[in-house]
Structure 1
Amino acid sequence: MREDFLHYVWQHQYFDKADLRTAGGEEIQVLRPGYRNADAGPDFLNARLRLGEVEWNGAVEIHLRASDWVRHSHQTDPKYDQVILHVVGSHDADVARTNGSLIPALALQPRLSPELLARYRALMEAPPTAPLPCAPLLSLVPEITKTMMVERALLERVGRKADTLMALHQHLGQDWEATAYHALMAAFGFQKNSEPLARLAKAVPLAVLRRHRHNQRQVEALLFGQAGFLADNEETVGDDYIQDLKQEYEFLRHKYQLGASALLAHEWNYLRLRPANFPPVRLGQLVGLLHARPALFDALLTAQSVAALREFFRAPGPAYWRMHFRPGRPGKVPALGQGSIDLLITNVVVPLRVAYAHHLDQPALVESSVGLLGGLPAEHNQYTDRYQTLGFAHRTAAESQGLLALHTGYCAPRRCLHCAIGSRLVQQAPPTS
């Protein structure tokens, strides 16, 4: 049994309340179990109980064993002086507040029904090889419960990404255009090169880039030079285009004193990448985008459809980078594909719009932004396909993102009691007092 199971049981009052008494024999009446505390301190706040003839308002702390109170050093922490009831699986010790006063305890394990425990253990003891802890029991869960849980997980996932962008927005002096620039730069790395591209965004400040956005060649020189792609080697020494770009970069580097922040060529990842994903290819596509779309954030915020956003990303890069995979190495390079564009919409545009909506407290913008995911095709990977095999709907990117969030936030860490699906299975025919 895990402690979160006792949290669940107490929150929903799924235990036998007949002749409910403390370990010391005092009668208990639960008037309000309290509200889960997500911060430091007791587990449930604002509980209301009647102990004997006296009504108490305060906090409830929960442990598997009463002695965990001392093991966690609560007896010396004033935050726990507000606890009016210590709810435990088993009562193996009396515990006290910092002033030495004893705290009443309620042992729950003897009051749990065998059926409830059996349903809980069926989830918790599912073998690691099971596709999901609840896989054998999913037929017992109504479709509406599964759908609502995937939608909830989707909103949580988008919200976490939006929170990350909000933190970036604060770090960048509350500049939404700079936030869009940094977010897009990192996203164009498509995981393998996200980190060096994020550093490149710092190495070429937006304030500098803004002065040259009208000149694609200068944007190209700034980004490729600071990325370390214009260094001389056996492939570039005879390439007139690269040598000319290098000359432009040297002028701009000196003008803005950028050299100290430049990356080196070996810092980029090529291993197991198709040539179409090579960093210079992606950087060439970014040059086209930054040159053609001088107001990134406004364009991403005001686009009303997936089609408009896809068109936003179809800005052609410099001709050289449409014919070279690497400096000095020719080859026909495909344009940024729709699959890649859709990933950018999913991972940057939607969270960016949601972050802005939260900033302005505009729920309608949150809804319309998340709604864009419903117009994108589903992503397929080992996790989403597993849920699809088990009968979960998987037609759009909204469902893909929800299923990924369900996997990472609930199924993989076995947080079944926090999931509407697992909770439904555990509470089938909940016990009565």
Structure 2
Amino acid sequence: MNFPEDFLHYVWQFKSFNFNDLRTSDGAELGIVHSGLWNKNSGPDFNNGKVKIGETIWAGNIEIHLKSSDWIKHNHQNDKAYENVILHVVYENDVDVHRIDGTLLPVLELKNRISNDLVEKYETLFLTLNDFPCSAQIASVDPFIIKSFLSRTLIERFEEKTLAVLETLEELNGNWDETFYRFLARNFGFKVNALPFELFAKAIPQNIYAKHKNNLLQIEALVFGASGFLKDDFKEDYPNQLKKEFQFLQQKYDIKPVEVSVWKFMRMRPQNFPTLRLAQFAALIVNSNHLLSKIIEIKDVKVLRNLFENLPVNPFWKTHYHFKKVVADVSLQIGKTSIDNVLLNTFALFLFAYGKYNGTQDFINRAIQLLESLPAEENAITNKFVQAGVVLENAFTSQGILQLKKQYCNHKKCLSCGIGIKIIKQ
């Protein structure tokens, strides 16, 4: 026996055992009318079951253990929540169990009723050392089943992310624009500098930009000053102009810059340096104030992409990755992959969260449509699934894969996974 109790939950739920001449441990004839509903919270494992023992039909709960002695080990004999258990389903019946009132608890032993083939299939999944349990079998699963389960995991992923959005929304007293600005800034950090970007966004609220939206130099001064990059002495005119502007604006708005040491440059492509990303972020602010209202209105993904194209990034960055480093020709604009990343992780998320918050299915549908119109992500996780034979059509499926790996594969929850269940059933 090399499996957890969850495996017996699966066996019971899907009736994957030999039903021939079912009897309780004391020899009474047993019939299963209804196996009950799987309870994933506290209390008996299956609720509202119905069985026939002898000539009597019993309705109530069903508890499952590897050994009947686990009932005593878990102290169920003293827990009134288990008084309504009508059947104890175990792999091995090693001891008689009684209810609080002293009556013997009927037991069904499955030890000789589960096929070795089924156990081996489960153990192959559960004990695998591969990147994910079913890497060797997933290609044999009907793509429709995979896509259907990824639809579920995608929704799970966005519901989890929505909680973080709503927490920030509450912190900001229901200000959706400022909440969106915080998340957009964090997304501009692209994981490595996500936290510094978030700290920078907290240091300078979005409404300050609105007062200077017609002055690119002042917007840039606010962005680079609040991010901590204007504390040094500079030789070139542009950073000195920014520094002079920020000294005035800092006093006016009582801005407390983040520590420049929090920004990360090591082991990064220069195109992703935070200084260049901040320059692009400043240009986006000048080009598109109150972006949230725009994504709520705009339905065409091409128009959404246009918001990030041809940004008025200062020409200084054409020859710089840093204020003190002159380099050859630099691409000023945000790359297509980076734009799609923002559309996926911020725009689609906020359409979904806004729809959830307001109870408007149209926004949720638009979030899903946006994901379906974006290409699938390519990273270490999604590449492993592609190598195993999974077809990732778009960002909807790749986001579903990321949630599948995080919440199911990493925790070996094959028996809660529609794909894992199908493999075991095959």
Alignment of 1:3-152 (within 5 A): 3-25=5-27, 27-51=29-53, 55-74=57-76, 79-94=81-96, 103-126=105-128, 128=129, 130=130, 132-138=132-138, 140-152=140-152
- Aligned position for 2:220: 220
Distance, in Å, in 1 between the alignment partners of 2:286 and 2:299 is 22
Deviation at 1:73, TM superposition (A): 4.8
Distance, in Å, in 2 between the alignment partners of 1:49 and 1:293 is 65
- Aligned position for 1:431: none
Q: Secondary structure at the match of 1:224?
A: helix
- CA distance 1:273–1:15, change in 2 (3 Å): same
- Aligned position for 1:372: 370
Distance, in Å, in 1 between the alignment partners of 2:340 and 2:20 is 57
Q: Secondary structure at the match of 1:402?
A: helix
- Aligned position for 1:243: 240
- Does residue 324 of the first structure (1) align with residue 316 of the second (2)? no
- CA distance 1:69–1:171, change in 2 (3 Å): farther
Moved more, 390-399 or 348-357: 390-399
- Aligned position for 2:275: 280
Does the 8 Å CA contact 1:187/1:348 hold for their aligned counterparts?
Answer: yes
Distance, in Å, in 2 between the alignment partners of 1:219 and 1:96 is 75
- CA distance 1:376–1:90, change in 2 (3 Å): same
- Amino acid paired to 1:240: D
Q: Deviations over 1:159-186 (max 9, x none)?
A: 3333432333333323221221111111
Q: Deviations over 1:71-118 (max 9, x none)?
A: 445556555555444333223345566787765443333321233223
The TM-score with structure 2 as length reference comes to 0.87
Deviation at 1:39, TM superposition (A): 3.3
- Amino acid paired to 1:426: I
Does the 8 Å CA contact 2:136/2:388 hold for their aligned counterparts?
Answer: no
Does the 8 Å CA contact 2:180/2:350 hold for their aligned counterparts?
Answer: yes
- Amino acid paired to 2:117: E
Distance, in Å, in 1 between the alignment partners of 2:252 and 2:271 is 33
Q: Determine which of 339, 344, 347 is the counterpart of 2:345.
A: 347
Does the 8 Å CA contact 2:151/2:397 hold for their aligned counterparts?
Answer: yes
Distance, in Å, in 2 between the alignment partners of 1:78 and 1:225 is 63
Q: Determine which of 280, 287, 303 is the counterpart of 1:292.
A: 287
Q: Secondary structure at the match of 1:371?
A: helix
Unaligned runs of at least 5 residues, structure 2:
none
- CA distance 1:74–1:324, change in 2 (3 Å): farther
Sequence identity (%): 36
- Aligned position for 2:190: 190
- CA distance 1:95–1:346, change in 2 (3 Å): farther
Deviation at 1:301, TM superposition (A): 2.1
- Amino acid paired to 2:66: L
- Aligned position for 2:399: 401
Distance, in Å, in 2 between the alignment partners of 1:282 and 1:114 is 57
Moved more, 290-299 or 208-217: 208-217
Unaligned runs of at least 5 residues, structure 1:
429-433
- Amino acid paired to 2:382: T
Q: Determine which of 253, 256, 266 is the counterpart of 1:256.
A: 253
Q: Secondary structure at the match of 1:393?
A: coil
- CA distance 1:107–1:306, change in 2 (3 Å): same
Q: Secondary structure at the match of 1:109?
A: coil
- Aligned position for 2:158: 158
The TM-score with structure 1 as length reference comes to 0.85
Moved more, 179-188 or 284-293: 284-293
Does the 8 Å CA contact 1:230/1:246 hold for their aligned counterparts?
Answer: yes
Deviation at 1:343, TM superposition (A): 0.9
Deviation at 1:282, TM superposition (A): 1.0
Does the 8 Å CA contact 2:147/2:397 hold for their aligned counterparts?
Answer: no
Moved more, 51-60 or 379-388: 51-60
Moved more, 262-271 or 357-366: 357-366
- CA distance 1:93–1:303, change in 2 (3 Å): farther
Moved more, 262-271 or 320-329: 320-329
- CA distance 1:167–1:52, change in 2 (3 Å): farther
Q: Deviations over 1:303-329 (max 9, x none)?
A: 212211111122333444454322233
Distance, in Å, in 2 between the alignment partners of 1:71 and 1:256 is 63
Does the 8 Å CA contact 2:352/2:364 hold for their aligned counterparts?
Answer: yes
- CA distance 1:251–1:53, change in 2 (3 Å): farther
Could you say what the CA RMSD is over the residues aligned between the two structures, in angstroms? 2.9
Deviation at 1:296, TM superposition (A): 1.5
Q: Determine which of 1, 4, 18 is the counterpart of 1:2.
A: 4
Does the 8 Å CA contact 2:139/2:390 hold for their aligned counterparts?
Answer: no
Deviation at 1:51, TM superposition (A): 4.8
Deviation at 1:406, TM superposition (A): 3.3
Distance, in Å, in 1 between the alignment partners of 2:59 and 2:326 is 75
Distance, in Å, in 1 between the alignment partners of 2:365 and 2:56 is 47
Does the 8 Å CA contact 2:28/2:53 hold for their aligned counterparts?
Answer: yes
